Chains A and B, each alone.
Chain A
Amino acid sequence: MSLAFKNLRGKPVRTAVLVILTVLLALTVFAGTLTVSSLRSGLGSLENRLGAEVMVVPYEATTKKSFENILLQGSTGYFYMDKSVYDKISKTEGIGRISEQFYLASTSSGCCSIPVQIIGIDPETDFTVQPWIKKSFDKPLGDCDIVVGNDLNAFVGDTLQFYGTDCRVAAKLEKTGTSFDTTVFTNESTIRKMIRASIDKGLNNFKDIDPEQVVSCVMIDPAEGYTADDVVNDINLHIKKVRAVRTKEMISGVSDSLSGVSRIVGILIFAVWVLGGVILLLAFTMSVNERRKEFAVLRVIGASRGRLARTVMAEALTVGVTGSLIGIGLGLLIMLPFANAVEGLLSMPYLLPDIWSIAAIACAAAAAAIVTGAAAAAVSAYRISRLDTGVILRGDN
C-alpha cells in the first residue's frame, strides 16, 4: 500500500472533506453539462419532429398561444379551420410538400382511457410524422390504429378508448424529449370519428363544426426555389383568418430560453468550479502545512524532492479519482431516473443524449474534477519539494 494511500487512510476526516469537495465538483460539472446537453438534444429533436418549415393554423390559435403550448409545452388542446383553407394554400405559389393535421384532446372522463393530445395525420400526404415513426411502425396507420408517445403508459397490443372509439396500440415511439412523448397519433378518418363523438358527447368546445370539413393545421415545405419566408408572406397576405408561421421562428422562444438556461448553468458550473478549486487549494495547502515536519522526516530517511511532490500528487489523484467516481455515480443516479421530472421542471424539450455522449460528458466532468484537484495540490507539491529540511527540523523543536 503506497504512502499516499496510507496518509489518506490515516486522516479519515481530512480525506472525507477533500473527497466530498471533489464529489460536489464532479457532480455539478456532470449534472450541469448533462442538463444543457439534454436541452440542446431536446431542441434538436423538436426541430426534427416538427418536420415542416411552415405551419398554418387558425389565427386564434396563435393569439391564444394554444398552438405553441401544444407543440412546445406539452399542453393539450385543439382548434379548427375550414378545410377550404387547405385547398387555397395548395394553390399558393411556392408550395412544395403539403399535408394536413387534426388535433383533439382526450379527457379524463369515462369515455377516454387517458387524457392526452391526439394528432391525426393523412397517411397519403403526411411527410412530417410518418418518417420518424417509421422506426417504430413501418406501415401506413390503419383505421383505429394508434401510435403512442414514449412516456404514455400503454404498450403495443393494448386497446385504448377515446370518445368511445376503441383503438389498438400499433407501436410505441422512441423517446423524443418533446411534447410528442405524451401524444397519440392516428389517421385522419379515425380522428374525424373521435371529433364527431366528442361533439356528440358535449365534450368539444367547437360544437357547430362538421369534422369532415375542418383541419387543425397545414404543414408545408416550400418548393425548390422558394423560401419559407416567401410562403409565409404569401399566405399571410392572401388568406384570411389563418396565420402562417415559420417553425424556426416558433421555436426561437424555446431556443432563447435554452440559451438563458445554458448561461445560468454555465455560470453555476464556473462558480462551483472556481470555488471548489479555491477550497481544494486551501485544503491541500493546510493539509501539507500541518505535515511539514512529516515531509521533513521523509527527506531525512531519503525521500527526494520529486518523491515528496509525487506523494502529494498521488494523494490528490487518489482523492480526485475517488471523488469523481462517486460524483459521476451520484449524477447518473439523479439525472437518469429523474429525467422526466427535470423536463417537467424546466418546461422545455429535454432529451438525454445517447449513452456514448453521456459517457463522454462523464469522462470530461471527471477529468475536470481530477485536474482541478491536481492543480490545487500541485502548488502544495511544489512548495513541499522546496522544503528546507534542516530549517524545519530545527524550527519545529
Chain B
Amino acid sequence: MLLKGEGIAREFIRVSGGSNRFTAVQDTDIELHGGQLTVLSGRSGSGKTTLLNMLSGLLPPTRGRVLLDGEDIYSLNDAKLSRLRNRKLGVVPQGQTAIHSLTVRENILLPCTLYGNADAADEEYAASLMERLDIAALASVRPAELSGGELRRMAIARAMIRHPEVIFADEPTGDLDDENTAVVFEFLRSAAGDGAAVLVVSHEAAAADYADRRLTMTKGEIAEM
C-alpha cells in the first residue's frame, strides 16, 4: 500500500473576495508506506493539518495529486471518495469530534453503520478496541459525560474500526497524560505493525520514540528530520 502526494499545494484566501492569497502548503511530494509510522511535527500554522486533510481526502489540493495505490483520489466523485475514506482511510481529527446523540459504542461503530449495519465481527472488534484503549466501561455513556482524554481515545477507536490501510492522527495525544500518551502511540505503532501506513501530526517529544520516519514542516514546506 502506498499513499503518495505529488506536488500538492493548498492556497487560501484570507479576505473573502479579495486577492490576499496565502499558501498553507507549498508544492510538496510525500509518500506514506504501509507498515510505516511517520511523525510530522512543526510549529502551529506551519501547514501540518492542511497537509493531513489533503492526504486524507478531506481537502482538495489547489495543485498536485494524491494517489492511493496509483489512483488519484480527487479524480473520484464525492460518493466514491467518501466510500474510499470510509473503507480505507482512518482519520483522528484535532479536538473533540464526538457525535453527541450517540453513545461511545455507537460513535465507534458509526463508520460501519454509515452504509449498513455493524456485524458481529465489527461489534467484537469495537469491544476489543475499547478494551485496549481503556474505555470499555464507558460503552453506553454519551460523550457529554466523558473527559477530554476519553473522547480522544474514542475518536482513535472510531478511526480504527474499519481496519484502515492509512491512518491519519492529528495531535492524537493532545489531551492525554503521559501514561495514556504511551498507550495511544503503542496502539498506533501496532497498527503500523499490522501493515497500515500511519501519519501522526504531533508536538509530543515522545512521538519520536515510535516513529519510523520523522518529518517537519516550516511555512508550508516539508523536510526530513
Task: Say whether B101 contacts A6, CB under 8 Å.
Answer: yes
Task: Say whether A393 contacts B93, CB under 8 Å.
Answer: yes
Please indicate the chain B residues that have their CB under 8 angstroms from the CB of A299 in the complex.
Answer: 58, 82
Stretch of B107-115, B124-132, B203-211, B213-221 on the interface side = B107-115
Task: Say whether A303 contacts B82, CB under 8 Å.
Answer: yes
Task: Say whether A302 contacts B97, CB under 8 Å.
Answer: no
Least CB distance, B219 to chain A, in whole angstroms:
17
Please indicate the chain A residues that have their CB under 8 angstroms from the CB of B59 in the complex.
Answer: 388-391
Question: Given contacts A10-B100, A11-B101, are A300 and B114 in contact (CB under 8 A)?
Answer: no
Q: Which of A11, A293, A303, A306 contacts B114 (CB 8 A)?
A: A303
Does A136 lie at the interface of the complex (its beta carbon under 8 Å from any beta carbon of B)? no
Please indicate the chain B residues that have their CB under 8 angstroms from the CB of A138 in the complex.
Answer: none
Please indicate the chain A residues that have their CB under 8 angstroms from the CB of B91 in the complex.
Answer: 300-301
Q: Which of B82, B93, B99 contacts A302 (CB 8 A)?
A: B82
Does B49 lie at the interface of the complex (its beta carbon under 8 Å from any beta carbon of A)? yes
Please indicate the chain A residues that have their CB under 8 angstroms from the CB of B102 in the complex.
Answer: 6, 10
Q: Which of B50, B78, B87 contacts A304 (CB 8 A)?
A: B78
Task: Count contacts on A: residues with CB < 8 A to the other chain.
Answer: 29
Does B158 lie at the interface of the complex (its beta carbon under 8 Å from any beta carbon of A)? yes
Q: How many A-B residue pairs have CB under 8 A?
A: 91
- The chain B residue with its CB closest to the CB of A10 is B101
Does B83 lie at the interface of the complex (its beta carbon under 8 Å from any beta carbon of A)? yes
Task: Say whether A298 contacts B114, CB under 8 Å.
Answer: yes
- The chain B residue with its CB closest to the CB of A389 is B58
Does B86 lie at the interface of the complex (its beta carbon under 8 Å from any beta carbon of A)? yes
Does B95 lie at the interface of the complex (its beta carbon under 8 Å from any beta carbon of A)? yes
Distance, CA A361 to CA B85, complexed state (A): 47
Task: Say whether B49 contacts A394, CB under 8 Å.
Answer: yes
Does A3 lie at the interface of the complex (its beta carbon under 8 Å from any beta carbon of B)? yes
Does A9 lie at the interface of the complex (its beta carbon under 8 Å from any beta carbon of B)? yes
Task: Say whether A9 contacts B101, CB under 8 Å.
Answer: yes
Least CB distance, A187 to chain B, in whole angstroms:
73
Does B28 lie at the interface of the complex (its beta carbon under 8 Å from any beta carbon of A)? no
Distance, CA A299 to CA B83, complexed state (A): 10
Please indicate the chain B residues that have their CB under 8 angstroms from the CB of A274 in the complex.
Answer: none
Interface pairs A-B: 8 shortest CB-CB: A10-B101, A302-B86, A390-B59, A304-B82, A390-B53, A397-B95, A302-B85, A301-B111
Task: Please list the residues of chain B having a beta carbon within 8 angstroms of any beta carbon in chain A.
Answer: 49-50, 53-54, 56, 58-59, 78-79, 82-87, 91, 93-95, 97-102, 106, 110-111, 113-115, 142, 158-159
Q: Beyond A8-B101, A11-B101, A301-B86: 4 further Cβ-contacts under 8 Å?
A: A298-B110, A302-B86, A304-B78, A306-B78
